[in-house]
Structure 1
Amino acid sequence: MDIGESVIEAAGVRRRYGGGFEAVRGVSFAVARGEVFALLGSNGAGKTSTVELLEGLARPSEGAVHVLGHDPYGERARVRPRVGVMLQEGGFPSDLTVAETARMWAGCVSGARPVDEALGMVGLRARSGVRTKQLSGGERRRLDLGLALLGRPEVLFLDEPTTGLDAEGRRDTWELVRELRAAGTTVLLTTHYLEEAETLADRLAIMREGRIVASGTPAEVTGARPARISFGLPAGWFPGDLPPLPALGVLRHDVRDGRVLLHTDRLQESLTALLRWAEEKDITLDRLDARTASLEEAFLAIAGDTTKGTAR
């Protein structure tokens, strides 16, 4: 990607907290205009610490960040009007209604879109007269997103945007993100829902212990992991009856609950060889299933054990 096209840039960014703990350790990446970029990692990997630097909430201990060509901390007045931020948890005046909360927020935003329009985008128009303290957790997340969209942002930061939403609400939010991207909005999101990242992100980065350990398109990241073929053998047939695994292009195999699981980095070749063998032996492979690796599998393999340490 041409760095000149980037609207979010992090270069050698480090962030240290009191006592010398380093939560972000030399992170570098760039996000192009109109791109959805997902920042992934287990709890403590340093995602939130990184995003807070991009949002201008703190200054990097080392390195540089730029949003829309400006330092979001040192040049906040140039950046803030063009950026929308949805935090992990927002705080609302409990006695104000949804509409009153949105109007109050709109008063702090340059060129705000109509409140009714913003609430309609997140499915809260019918709840505009309800006090915020009466909203469900999912509705609060919708309101968080609606407020982030009030200023018609060019860049949108979404920190765990669908936490607390039901399946329908999550899908509605995904569709809204797609519409925003189609309109040219650049989106950086963090999420623990790997299906969400795989569905929405043009590119992603996986963090571990304050560093980026893998990045690329979802297909590139998952493509580095073996595909799987699973099946059951008929009565009287055993895994040892299969042809030699190298002949099937298989890296290794497991037997789980009576089913054979083959791991391969040449899915089509391995599946073709397996089916040819089954046809020659005139047997049926029970519940045959072949699939590439999922982002969840890749994430678990790449992210590893990140429970040690205290990065946010």
Structure 2
Amino acid sequence: MIKAERLNQGDTVGVIAPASPPDLKNLDKGISFLESLGLKVKLGAHVNKKHGYLAGNDQQRLEDFHHMFQDPEITAIFCAGGGYGTGRIVADIDYASIKENPKIFWGYSDITCLHTAIRQETGLVTFHGPMLCSDVGKEGFDAESEKMFHQLFEPEGMHYNENLSPLEVIGEGEASGEVVGGNLSLLVNAMGTPYEIDTKGKLLFLEDVGEEPYRLDSFFNQLKLAGKLEDAAGIILGDFSGTETEKTKETLSLSQVYEDYFSHLNKPVLAGFKIGHCLPHYSIPFGTDAVLSSHRKSLMIQPGVD
């Protein structure tokens, strides 16, 4: 496990768009937020590019990604937004360069592909948190979500309990391990590739948005059949918004789907964490040690920076 150095006021941070094109007006607001934290901001050369549904072609997005890790002035890298595209560049990333230049890396959703690959190829701790364009720059971005950026300046751990949101116990127990995971559909997309997630002895975090219960069922089933749920030490279920059924009136509830896949695992499984496509969005590091307890209804995560 490699932790990047904490941020200090006056540091220069980089902004890249490794997936879909960002809304530039919202991105400007997100940049202003970073500046309000006392940071200087350097944009990737291709952030404003468009190539269909991508923020520039694969080579342009890969160049920005590499440049930010190799630039000695940059101390942290923030993703403008998600959408789609990171899976197209993951095989061409220079992971040795990342290991030689460990930096804070922040994003979620489609960025899940990069989180998994970076951690498993280099050991670098990365951060699952709201993005500048699709979250920070939009109306309604809240103070609780803003506070989550402070963990980059001070190595403070996260103690998530029912003071933050109601938590549902689906599986009993207590387990420790590194927190890994991210967007459920992205993790399933990577199955059978060199960047398939390793869950053995880990606390597996899952979230998604806009997927109906039958779709989530199919994703959970894929993880089950691949042994990922059995291998995990515990399961952390984040926000699953937009699950309303449209295609059929005959459906199972999300709670029923949870019950089918997680209640018989003989390990801690808790649902209701406000982590994902939601507000507030509580940010967490991936790759640090944590403890998940059904008895205390809590998740305790070690700091993600030195």
Q: TM-score normalized by structure 2?
A: 0.33
Flag the structure with larger Rg. 1
Specify which structure has the higher proportion of helix.
1
Specify which structure has the higher proportion of strand.
1
